[in-house]
Amino acid sequence: MRIGIVCPYSLDVPGGVQNHVRDLAEALIGMGHSVSVLAPGEDDSGLPPYVVPAGRSVPVRYNGSVARLSFGPISATRVRRWLASGHFDVLHVHEPVTPSLSMLAVLSARGPVVATFHTAMTRSRTMAAVQGMLQLVLERITARIAVSDLARKVQVEHLGGSAWEIPNGVAIARFATATPLPGWPGPDGAIGFLGRYTEPRKGFDLLRTAWVRLASDRPGLRLLVAGPGEPEAALEGVPAALRDQIVLLGKVSETDKARMLRSVDCYVAPNTGGESFGMILTEAMAAGTPVVASDLDAFRRVLDAGRAGVLFPAGDADALARALATLLDSPKRRAALVERAAGVVSAYDWRVVAERVLEVYATAIEVEVGTVVTDEPDTGS
């Protein structure tokens, strides 16, 4: 099958949607399909060979963070050329309501279109600004996928249609076989965090507060942080005596991300909101690392209601510190969580997820050629 996939965000910037697109493309290629990915980016940006860069992107504040998007006449021309040369059996766009390449691709498509919705956001200034075009885009989508129940509810309640619920995948073998970084986790314990630590909804400030309280009574307890940001911002408010115990890796590759997750005793997701799934949780679970996460609905679902990881009240630094202390002091508890998580995360392996996506492609193609499909979408319930 010839498959065209469109990512609205630059692939050279870390993010859940970008990782999803890259991993799905590679899973489909591994299954023998021909895949081309269109994404914002420059020709010399070192992108994988299956990616076609659509040119310069611009930073836009969207869904609580800053995303790099491409839009306008030049981008639209490049989208049309890519579609014309690709001769795709199916077009798969991600976040089509984002004013970027996905929206442009839907408007120019002449065949079956599958759209994946990642966020649970119901409104934004950006969406409001393109409301008229939004309805036209939705009418041209043949089949919809939502990565979580929350994202599916947005389809039902706000965007006028249902969707197949197919979660984000994870390359389990890549994480399970990664080698820890030299000297990690060490004898005194290590806690990990990955994300843009200057972004408030990622909750790093909360984790830092909890870690300082723990480290003050636990000499040698380290915090391993991966993600973009200024070091001064990460160390703000940390006592001078503890600063050497916070190790900042900066922006990491996918390979080093897997190694980082294998290098800690606990991974913490202290997010305060705005999450529809929790891909980093499945990656930590695949790496065999116990997870401690905010009790957000999306995280609760991934962690099997707290049976595959520890949940704490979102925004409560004291509760996070207590949860971490209990887990660090109990190797048996950590081992039990890892064992439970291994069973849960197996359903998220990319090979399993890609098979489900292919079923949606087949349905979209049938609908496009006029075959009547009577089955309701599998909503995951």
The number of domains in the chain is 2
- Non-local CB neighbours of 291 within 8 Å, separated by 6+ positions: 266, 267, 268, 269, 281, 284, 285, 303, 308, 309, 310, 337, 341
d(CA 299, CA 296): 5
**Are residues 143 and 76 located together in one domain of the fold?**
yes
Domain residue limits at 308? 173-346
Position 12 scores a pLDDT of 78
Q: Is 209 exposed, middle or buried (0-12, 13-18, 19+ CB in 10 A)?
A: middle
Q: How confident is the model at residue 156 (pLDDT cuts 50, 70, 90)?
A: low
**Are residues 75 and 219 located together in one domain of the fold?**
no
**Are residues 294 and 179 located together in one domain of the fold?**
yes
223: left (phi over 0), alpha (psi -120 to 50) or beta: beta
**Are residues 339 and 353 located together in one domain of the fold?**
no
The bridge status of strand 65-69 relative to strand 58-62 is antiparallel
pLDDT tens sequence across 343-354: 999 999 999 999
CATH of the domain at 113: 3.40.50.2000
**Are residues 212 and 240 located together in one domain of the fold?**
yes
Compute the average pLDDT of residues 312-325: 97
Position 278 scores a pLDDT of 86
Proportion of the chain in helix, strand, coil states, percent, rounded to 5: 45, 20, 40
% of the chain surpassing 70 pLDDT? 87
d(CA 278, CA 301): 9
The answer to which of 44-58, 71-85, 233-247, 321-335 has the lowest mean pLDDT is 44-58
User: Domain for residue 357, yes or no?
Assistant: yes
Check: CB of residue 117 under 8 Å from CB of residue 145: yes
**Are residues 71 and 106 located together in one domain of the fold?**
yes
pLDDT over 60 (residue 65): no
pLDDT over 60 (residue 376): no
**Are residues 224 and 107 located together in one domain of the fold?**
no
Q: How confident is the model at residue 372 (pLDDT cuts 50, 70, 90)?
A: very low
pLDDT over 60 (residue 128): no
The answer to which of 71-80, 185-194, 308-317 has the lowest mean pLDDT is 71-80
**Are residues 161 and 203 located together in one domain of the fold?**
no
pLDDT over 50 (residue 198): yes
User: Domain for residue 104, yes or no?
Assistant: yes
**Are residues 292 and 355 located together in one domain of the fold?**
no
Q: How confident is the model at residue 160 (pLDDT cuts 50, 70, 90)?
A: low
DSSP assignment of 332-374, as one string? HHHHHHHHHHHHHHGGGBHHHHHHHHHHHHHHHHHHHTT----
User: Domain for residue 374, yes or no?
Assistant: no
Q: How confident is the model at residue 100 (pLDDT cuts 50, 70, 90)?
A: confident
SS (H, E, C) 116-162: EECCCCCCCHHHHHCHHHHHHHHHCCCEEEECCHHHHHHHHHHCCCC
Cis amide bond preceding 185, omega within 30: yes
User: Domain for residue 379, yes or no?
Assistant: no
Check: CB of residue 96 under 8 Å from CB of residue 102: yes
Judged by DSSP in three states, 49 sits in: coil
**Are residues 162 and 219 located together in one domain of the fold?**
no
pLDDT tens sequence across 229-240: 889 999 999 999
% of the chain surpassing 90 pLDDT? 67
Compute the average pLDDT of residues 47-67: 73
Nearest to 237 by CA among 269, 271, 204: 204
Whole-angstrom CA distances from 121 to 48, 99, 325, 361 are 30, 15, 34, 25
User: Domain for residue 375, yes or no?
Assistant: no
**Are residues 301 and 184 located together in one domain of the fold?**
yes
Judged by DSSP in three states, 191 sits in: strand
The larger pLDDT score, comparing residue 197 to residue 13, is at 197
Whole-angstrom CA distances from 234 to 44, 197, 240, 270, 310 are 31, 7, 13, 15, 24
Q: How confident is the model at residue 373 (pLDDT cuts 50, 70, 90)?
A: very low
**Are residues 157 and 178 located together in one domain of the fold?**
no
User: Domain for residue 209, yes or no?
Assistant: yes
Mean pLDDT (the chain) is 88
- Non-local CB neighbours of 106 within 8 Å, separated by 6+ positions: 91, 93, 96, 113, 115, 137, 140, 141
d(CA 123, CA 64): 12
Position 339 scores a pLDDT of 97
d(CA 312, CA 295): 5
pLDDT over 90 (residue 337): yes
The larger pLDDT score, comparing residue 160 to residue 263, is at 263
d(CA 298, CA 100): 26
∠ CA 121-284-168, rounded to 5°: 40
Token digits of residue 229:
């940001």
Position 10 scores a pLDDT of 86
pLDDT over 60 (residue 358): yes
User: Domain for residue 361, yes or no?
Assistant: yes
d(CA 149, CA 277): 9
